[in-house]
Amino acid sequence: MIPQTIKDTIMKKSTIHILALVVTTVLLSSCGKGFLDVTPTNSVSAPTSVRTAADAKVMVTGMMRNLLSSNYYGRNFFMYGDAKGGDLTLYSQGRGLDALYTFNHTANTNNYGGFWSTIYNNILQANSLLANIEKLKNEGSTENFDVYKGQALTLRALMYFDLVRIYGKPYTYDKSSYGVPNVTTPLEASAQPLRATVEENYNQIIKDLTDAAPLLPKAKNNGFINYYANRAIQARVYLTMGNYSQALAAAEDVIQNGGYSLYTPADWVASWKTQFGSESIFELAVLPTEADLGTASLGFYLRRKGHGSTSALGFFGASDYFLARLNEDPTDVRWGIMAADELSTSSNPRLGSCYKYSGSTDLAGDGKSTSTAVNIKVIRLSEMYLIAAEAALPTDKTKAASYLNEIRKRAPALPAATSGTITLDMILDEKSKELFAEGQRYFDMLRLNKSITFNDEILGITIPTRPKTIDRTFEKTILPIPIGEINANPAIGQQQNSGY
């Protein structure tokens, strides 16, 4: 296990060049135990060095565990996408993560530097593993590392994709602007890498994904990356780049060949208390003994104030705009994971609390001993249908409508889309309803240059740090480079994002 003194150093410094020395040294000499797997791993003896495929698996498992940090998929990344995208709103200020909604960011305060440090820490682990595998192969090792190399490359691509969307402008808006430092090898302790362009970041992301795909198994491997998870990430990336033909090809590969199947409308609500179900392409396993964030979890941040615990503060809830969208069909099955929020009254019920990450509206969880240890579904099959619908729209509206209608069945009272009625906004509305609280909305609105209007009326105040309606020209649509990184790497301060 990584010594506490090293962990403290990482937390305090939060810089790429500091992490490079620490992570490279630690990982090439010890692959600590206690990392998350589909089953508990804290009773497994750790390898003393990476010499075998089994050692590499431990390192990959560690990277998967790190994805579940509260600074990443464990909470903040999903909250970022929906709070900034207008589908979530605040009931009251001061409960936590307010700045995601108010855009009250500076390089010094509310900079959410945990995104930067957590994700780069994990990228550096991937780089160390990849370098070690290459070293062993050059030394003549006969071990087959292909699967773990493929997983490390895919994870690195996914993490860079998330980083460049947080800190860089949309590819479809200004791909020549600053993205994030492209670090693909272990660094010297003195290294001070500067920001690449958004386009350079995406080129690296696509290279990693395409290099990794043939190395990965096609069989489903619960809790880990397989070939079809890689292809699903490709679909996301290509769609974000506006490359609709490649996005459609990747999404259709998953839909037609992946072996996954959509839930029926009758089964959709129960799927949230099911682990590794038929729609789950990439799902991170959360265990009560590993990665259960408890009162810091997504489930806690989205449930009704006081439900199950006085620590549940009702941090965020659905905006009026999202609820109106969902209420286009009052029989929509997706109401089944929504419940009354603190604003609800008997005369004016308001189902603004989301229970996807509590398993059910009665806190059933997903079969574990705590209702907060609910697996995080990072990529689901329904998203592939929605990507296919959007990607097909410019050239084949009949195909686009067919893909959209498979998801639209979850709202049985709505008329089916046709080649004559389908629109981009119809697809985006359906995606909002299907992927609510899954961190997608903001990035969709930015890449398509859609305006985002915030439900400030619930707070009853004017937010001074942003207008009520923004689009991607608003300076603070991307986060600042954190002050800790600038202090350690002054040159990157000259590349700070506009507005900070």
All structural domains of the chain with their residue ranges: 4-87+97-279+466-495
Cα dihedral sign for 384, 390, 394, 398?
Answer: positive
Provide the pLDDT for residue 49: 67
Residues of the chain by 3-state class (helix, strand, coil), percent to 5: 50, 5, 45
Question: What percent of the chain shows pLDDT beyond 70?
Answer: 90
Asked if residue 32 has pLDDT above 50, the reply is no
Provide the pLDDT for residue 190: 83
Q: Tell me the C-alpha distance between 204 and 200, whole Å.
A: 6
Asked if residue 121 has pLDDT above 50, the reply is yes
Nearest Cα to Cα of residue 368 among 468, 470, 441, 290:
290
Does residue 374 contact residue 286 with C-beta atoms inside 8 Å?
Answer: yes
Q: Tell me the C-alpha distance between 368 and 290, whole Å.
A: 12
Asked if residue 248 has pLDDT above 60, the reply is yes
From residue 229, how far is each of 86, 111, 219, 430 by CA, in Å? 28, 31, 10, 22
Average pLDDT over every residue of 30-56: 51
Does residue 33 contact residue 41 with C-beta atoms inside 8 Å?
Answer: yes
How far is C-alpha 125 from the geometric centre of its chain's CA atoms?
19
Does residue 217 contact residue 147 with C-beta atoms inside 8 Å?
Answer: yes
Asked if residue 60 has pLDDT above 70, the reply is yes
Average pLDDT over every residue of 230-240: 99
Reported as a single tens digit per residue, the pLDDT across 167-213 is: 999 999 999 999 999 999 998 878 899 999 999 999 999 999 999 99
Q: E-assigned strands of 64-120? A: 88-90
Q: Tell me the C-alpha distance between 38 and 224, whole Å.
A: 9
- Name the helix (H) or strand (E) containing 390: helix 381-392
Average pLDDT over every residue of 53-65: 96
Domain 4-87+97-279+466-495, CATH number (from 1.25.40.390, 1.10.260.40, 3.40.920.10, 1.10.357.10): 1.25.40.390
**Weakest-pLDDT range from 11-20, 50-59, 90-99:** 11-20
**Number of residues that this document lists for the chain:** 500
Q: Tell me the C-alpha distance between 228 and 280, whole Å.
A: 11
Q: How many CB atoms lie within 10 A of CB 137?
A: 13
Provide the pLDDT for residue 188: 82
pTM recorded for the entire structure: 0.92
